[in-house]
Amino acid sequence: MASGQPDKTLYLHIGLPKTATSYLQRLMEEHRGDLLEKGFWTPSRKIYAHRVAVDTLPDDARAKAADVQGIRRIDEQDVWKDIEHALSQPQFGTIVLSSEYLSMGLAERAKAQIADRIGLPCKIIIYLRRQDYLTESGYNQDVKAMNRREPVRAPNYSERLDWEKVLGAWAESFGRENIRAIGYDRAARDQTVQKSFFEALDRPDILEAGELENGEGRVNESLPADLLEFKRLANMFGDFGLDKWLAGVAAAGEWAPKYRMSAELAEQYRTLYADSNQRVVDAYFDGDKSALALDDAPADPDRGVDFTGALPAETLAKLFAVHLKQTRRREKELRDRIAALEERLGVKHEPDS
């Protein structure tokens, strides 16, 4: 499917977990009309990028998961017609496919099934995050939304968290010179996630008038450490649908700082990937350790606290008080509505005993 237009470039955004992938995808979706006018193309439906990406998954249990099978029900012909239209339009010089499924896929399959089929020069965009930070964030999300019950355990080595191996696989298929690695920890700290993304896409001009507005606000907000431990313990007794309620409680009150794993666990993660991370920093970040926060203390107290197995009694008291107050407010609202309805219908109101 060669476009015959050498001024076009394909960018694959390899969306590693907890590195603002959904945030960046949402920005591109919300501002798609303006981006198209600037020659910046993304699929007409976000799921089209996922449909292309799932074909890069290895033939294992993940490829048979329900979410992947649901994505595969999307007509592949519709996806490629969408891409072919972009390739046929000379004004689109930047072609972007962003998907978290690419982070679970095989680089060689992405090369054969996406890049070679599209037939454009291809560059890889990938955000990297220090492994203990990524694990902390993923744990919070799993407890909050996926009803995880188990606390964070001592790490076992995983090639999926070894950024040297991850980058090596993509560099082998696409060429080292085409890998655009970005340190998420530094970008998040400096509030340059958007800036670093569009710079990696060779389109810093997109932000000349300022950052793109996030119309939906902040999402996937982490729970404070005390509410997180409460939710983990509650998960052990079933699914009570507490995630939305706790998110509202967290936003409206004063709670503990965010969760961070213990210093012992953090040091185990640091040690496990220390040599690999250093080589990645040397090869992709000119030796700048701040890109992956390698000089940060493994468990800096300023970053948060760990209440695993030690939920404060005052947290339970505060949650009970919040629930009681909300219950009384709902009861009052119900009584007021009933009284108003009775008045409209001419029914004699019987006061509560």
Task: Quickly list DSSP for 232-254.
Answer: HHHHTT-----HHHHHHHHHHS-
> What pLDDT sits at residue 188?
92
Burial status of residue 264 (CB atoms within 10 A of its CB: 0-12, 13-18, 19 or more):
exposed
For the segment 342-349, the average pLDDT, to the nearest whole number, is: 80
Residue 301 pLDDT greater than 80, yes or no: no
| Residue 263 pLDDT exceeds 60 | yes
Which range has the worst mean pLDDT, 5-14, 66-75, 89-98?
A: 5-14
Whether 249 is in a domain gets the answer no
CB 148 within 8 A of CB 235: yes
Question: Is residue 55 domain-resident?
Answer: yes
Using CA atoms, how far apart are residues 63 and 54, in angstroms rounded to an integer? 7
Indicate whether 77 pLDDT > 90: yes
Q: 340 pLDDT band (50/70/90 cuts)?
A: confident
pLDDT number for residue 177: 96
Residue 177 lies in a domain: no
- Could you tell me if residue 35 is inside a domain? yes
pLDDT of 300 > 90? The answer is no
Residue 273 falls inside a structural domain: no
Taking 80 as the threshold, does the pLDDT of residue 199 lie above it?
A: yes
Residue 14 has pLDDT above 80, yes or no: yes
Q: Across residues 234-238, what is the average pLDDT?
A: 93
Checking if the pLDDT of 39 tops 70, the result is yes
Cα→Cα distances 90→30, 150, 180, Å? 23, 52, 25
102, pLDDT greater than 70: yes
* pLDDT on residue 299: 60
Question: Per-residue pLDDT tens for 124-179?
Answer: 999 999 999 999 999 999 999 889 999 999 999 999 999 999 999 999 999 999 99
pLDDT of amino acid 5: 55
Is 98 in a helix, a strand, or coil?
strand
d(CA 12, CA 102) in angstroms, rounded, equals 8
Range of the domain at 67: 9-128+191-207
Domain membership flag for residue 310: no
pLDDT band, residue 15 (cuts 50/70/90)? very high
Total structural domains within the chain? 1
For the residues 183-193, what does the mean pLDDT come to? 94
- Average pLDDT over all residues of the chain: 91
Q: Are 184 and 19 in contact (CB under 8 A)?
A: yes
Strands (DSSP E) found in the chain: 9-14, 40-41, 94-99, 122-128, 179-183
3-state secondary structure of 125: strand
Residue 217 confidence (pLDDT) above 60: no
Most confidently modeled of 112-121, 256-265, 341-350? Answer: 112-121
Pair of tokens at residue 84: 């072919």
- Residue 68 — very low, low, confident or very high, per pLDDT cuts 50/70/90? very high
Residue 6 pLDDT more than 60?
Answer: no
pLDDT at 219 over 60: no
User: Which of the four pLDDT bands, split at 50, 70 and 90, describes residue 48?
Assistant: very high
Please check the confidence at residue 1 and state whether its pLDDT lies above 60: no
Residue 350 in any domain: the answer is no
What is the mean pLDDT of the segment spanning 101-120? Answer: 96
pLDDT score, position 129? 95
Q: Using one digit for the tens of pLDDT, what is the confidence trace for 306-334? A: 999 999 999 999 999 999 999 999 999 99
Q: 9-14 and 40-41: which strand pairing? A: unpaired
3-state secondary structure of 290: helix
The closest alpha carbon to 15, from 107, 166, 125, belongs to 125
Question: Is 116 part of a structural domain of the chain?
Answer: yes
